[in-house]
Structures are given as structure tokens and as C-alpha cells.
Chain A
Amino acid sequence: MILFGLLATASAAQSVALMGEFLTHPGVVVGLEHPVSDHAVLAWNIGTYVHVRNTVGAFTDLELGARHEFPSRFVLEGFAGVGYLHTFVQGPVYEVEDGAVDHVTDPGRPSFMPTLRFGVAAAREKVTPFVNVQGFGQYPFNTQLLPHVALVVGVRS
């Protein structure tokens, strides 16, 4: 987080957004962006979400994105990247050993997290609101890639 804060002072844009994993599981994402060309940006995001009685997810990802701003200042944007997702059970976890039941501390599960998001924004001088639909993966989940979908609504400066 300290590194994130330090880079924020030097980045071209910062963002903060509300995230709805599968629409109704709330979360928040903060991001930093650096331009790599007129239409491309490199983005670093940190976020978390909660699916009550299922999962708490904490993640960070690095994305390469492209934006096109129309004369009307309407923006189309798309990002793809990779990241790390750590998920915790959102509730008690029990294990049984030789018939003895233990309430254990869940260390969580690490996952590889590919990401893909598309959306729109309305460019403003100071703060630009945006809406993205994001897909991200969680691997491994029962040896396979579990897809997630989220709505991300936020602002960037």
C-alpha cells in the first residue's frame, strides 16, 4: 500500500471504483494508470470484494489498456491483464482429524487471475466517471478456471 501511495504521486491518473462481483457482491478497486502511448495505458489495480457466506477476495492486477475518446468526449476503453487473487472463506472453517473437530483459521487460497474489461467513460477536466464490465478468472478452482464477472463503476482523475 505504501508503494501504491508513492506511485500515486507520480502517476498520470488515479481511480477509485465500486465493484459488484456478479452484480450484488460488493467491493472496491483503486487503480493507478501510466500512459504508454496516445491511446494505451498501463494500469495497476488493487481491490477486494465480498460474497457473503461464500468468499472474500483480495486481488491485485496489472493491465494494458486502450482508450479512444470521441469528439463528444465519450470514451470507449478496454483492458486485459494478469493478476493475483487470494480468496478466503467468508465464514467459519472446520476440519476433522480422527474424529476431532477443529475450528481453523483459513489462510485463504492463492489464485492466478487473468482479467479482461470493457467499458465507457465520459471524459471531464478533473474527474472522469467510467463504467466497466469486468471478467476475471480464478485458477485453480477444482483444477479449473472459475470465471467471475463484475460491474465496476468509478471515477478517475
Chain B
Amino acid sequence: MQTEGDWFVVRNDGADLPVTVRGDLGADTFVVWLAGGPGDPSVIDRGEATDRLEEDLGMVYWDQRGAGSAGGNAKPESFTIEQYVDDTEAVVDVIEELYAPERLFLLGHSWGGTLGTAYLLDADRQAGIAGWIDVDGNHDNPLIFPMKIAWLGSYAEGQIAEGIDIAHWTEVRDWCASEPPLTVDNWHEWNEVVEDTNAIFHDADVGFDIGFDLLFLSPDSPLAYLAVNDGYADASMHTDASSFEELSFSDEMDAITVPSLLVWGRHDGIVPIDAMDAARTSLSNADVTSVVLENSAHEGFLEEPQPFAEAVLDFVQQ
């Protein structure tokens, strides 16, 4: 992990953004992966699916400001969607400079879907992107929060029906039934409860692969994530509550005209599948392909790596 591919830092507005480029570095097609969170280490998204993609493509993984092992001294007020987009543009510029791919795709997972959508709304930026891959992306907080609540309420009903921790799940069900509005506090409440569900992984036996190599023999710094960055980006973005609560791109997504692939887990409880339908509707001027991973929740590239990789390869190679 410490010698494969290329590694460098993009320094932008106070943040040091570590970038790893793997796969076919001479490929004519590169994919820049926008991880979720905000704040997730990009390395946890890698596995069988990305290994397969790396056989044919140049794959770019990077830790966004305040995420994973990203360093520097990024201040809380710098965590705005505009700054994230600017950081992404810096990374894209460096990739184009170093590798000159004929075609560059953006792939955004979860929060990365938010970021990629925001990036593409600018016509000049979009002009440099061959296509957009939205993987369980959250493009509209006010629209999608009720979907999250509905999913959680349904999950709670299921737990009650099975006699599991009835008191807790009854409380959750009733909270969901009250249709709590999107606020930073309600978001945190939802976030805390949903961790006890299968919203992220449909199969309880599947999880993030964090082994000895990643902890001790990789460029990543576990302490940087665990002691500093974990929750830092999230908390920083939530200090401007109205920006978070009003973050919505649905009405602007008709500006995205590049071919777009939507990949969703059928059982996603973090960004439920209704959000895919909403995204497809909003991408009214793009040629949109949708793929549903029937046995996955929020991390389809980890739960169904081969179907995920095939969907992406079919899309970028068409």
C-alpha cells in the first residue's frame, strides 16, 4: 500500500489533500472518486470493485479536507460546499496536468454525490468531465431527509414486529412518525439511531476492511482520522445550520448535461432509493442510466463489487 501507484499532496487553501492514483496510469480514462462523509477516509471505499476498475482505468482516490489523513490546518470556517468544490477542482487540475487522460469521470458516493453534483453545476468545470457517476448520492438535504426518516420508521416497525428491543424501536418509530423536520439536531438524532440498523450494509457479515496493512503499512494515519478528523468536517459544516438545512441542488441539476450513471443499493437506508428516482428526474437534460444493486444498502461497491464494477465499466467504456 505504500509503494503501489502514485502518491502526492494537493495543497489548497490551508489543507493538505493526499491523493493516491492507482490502476492503469496510462489509461485514456480516469475516474476521480469523491468519498462520502463528509470526512470519510477514501481508503475504506477500496476493495474488490476498485481492484477490478483499476485493471482498466486510472483511479484517483483522495482525502478531502478534514477527512481521513488529510492534514494542514484547515479551519472550521473553510468547510463550505464552495471550498470543497474548489478543492475538487484543484485535484482535477493536477490529474489532468500529470496524466492528461482523454476522458475524466467523476464518481461521488453519498456526500461525494453532493459534492460531485455541486461541482458539475458550473459549466466550465463540467466541460472538463466526460461523465458523472452518482453512487447513493445525497443531492438535496430537505428532499431526502424525509426519505431517511421514512426508511428508519419502517425499519423500526420491522424490529418491533420481531420483538427486538421493543421499547427502543417504539420510541424510534414514534419519532419518525412525527415527521421531524430537517434540522442539524434532528440530523444528529437520526445519525445516531441509524447506526444500529442495516442502513449501511444490508448483509450484516459485510463491513469495512480495516486490517494490519491499512493501519500500519499504508500512507494513511489512523490517529489523524480517529483523533482529529473523525467528525471534524461534519461538525464544521453544521455550524452554519441554514446552509446545511437548505442544501439542495434539485432545481439546478438540469444544468448537468454530461452522461450520468446512478448506482444505488436497493436497501440503502442512508440515502434511500427514492432519492435515485428524484435525481433522475432532476437530471432532465442528461442521458441517465440507472443501476440498482438488489442485495446492497449504502455501500454497494463493497457488498456487490463485481456488479458495481461492471456497471461503472459499461458506462465509462460506452
Give the nearest-CB partner of A25 in chain B.
B216
Q: Is the CB of B93 within 8 A of A96?
A: yes
Which residues of B114-141 have CB atoms within 8 Å of chain A's CB atoms? none
Q: Is the CB of A91 within 8 A of B71?
A: no
Q: For the complex, is A24 an interface residue (Cβ under 8 Å from B)?
A: yes
A148 to B221, CA, bound (A): 10
Among A52, A89, A106, A143, point to the contact of B75 (Cβ < 8 A). A143
Q: For the complex, is B182 an interface residue (Cβ under 8 Å from A)?
A: no
Q: What 4 pairs across the A-B complex have the smallest Cβ distances?
A: A53-B219, A101-B97, A92-B8, A96-B90
The residues of A that contact B219 with a CB separation of less than 8 Å are: 51-54
A148 to B303, CA, bound (A): 34
Q: Is the CB of A141 within 8 A of B76?
A: no
**Residues of A participating in the B interface, judged by any CB pair closer than 8 Å:** 22-24, 51-55, 89, 91-96, 99, 101, 104, 106, 109, 140-149
The residues of B that contact A141 with a CB separation of less than 8 Å are: 71, 73, 224, 228
Residue-wise, chain B 43-83 has the 8 Å CB interface mask toward A (1 for contact) of 00000000000000000000000100111111110000000
- Sample of 17 A–B contacts (CB below 8 Å): A24-B216, A53-B2, A53-B7, A54-B69, A55-B71, A89-B16, A91-B8, A91-B9, A94-B10, A94-B94, A95-B11, A95-B90, A96-B12, A141-B73, A142-B229, A144-B227, A146-B224
Residue-wise, chain B 203-224 has the 8 Å CB interface mask toward A (1 for contact) of 0000000000000111111111
A54 to B90, CA, bound (A): 19
**Residues of B participating in the A interface, judged by any CB pair closer than 8 Å:** 2, 7-12, 16, 18, 66, 69-76, 89-90, 93-94, 97-98, 216-224, 227-229, 232
Give the nearest-CB partner of A139 in chain B.
B73
A144 to B70, CA, bound (A): 13
Give the nearest-CB partner of B229 in chain A.
A142
Among B72, B217, B232, point to the contact of A24 (Cβ < 8 A). B217
Q: Is the CB of A149 within 8 A of B223?
A: yes
Distance (Å) between the CB of A80 and the closest chain B CB?
Answer: 19
Distance (Å) between the CB of A24 and the closest chain B CB?
Answer: 4
Give the nearest-CB partner of A89 in chain B.
B9
The residues of A that contact B73 with a CB separation of less than 8 Å are: 109, 140-143
Give the nearest-CB partner of B7 in chain A.
A53
Q: Is the CB of B8 within 8 A of A54?
A: no
The residues of B that contact A148 with a CB separation of less than 8 Å are: 223
Distance (Å) between the CB of B76 and the closest chain A CB?
Answer: 7
A54 to B9, CA, bound (A): 9
The residues of A that contact B216 with a CB separation of less than 8 Å are: 22-24
A101 to B99, CA, bound (A): 12
A109 to B2, CA, bound (A): 22
Q: Is the CB of A146 within 8 A of B228?
A: yes
Distance (Å) between the CB of B276 and the closest chain A CB?
Answer: 33
Q: Is the CB of A142 within 8 A of B228?
A: yes
Among A54, A93, A104, point to the contact of B221 (Cβ < 8 A). A54
Q: Is the CB of B76 within 8 A of A143?
A: yes
Q: Is the CB of B228 within 8 A of A51?
A: no
Among A22, A51, A91, A142, point to the contact of B72 (Cβ < 8 A). A142
Among B7, B12, B93, B223, point to the contact of A99 (Cβ < 8 A). B93
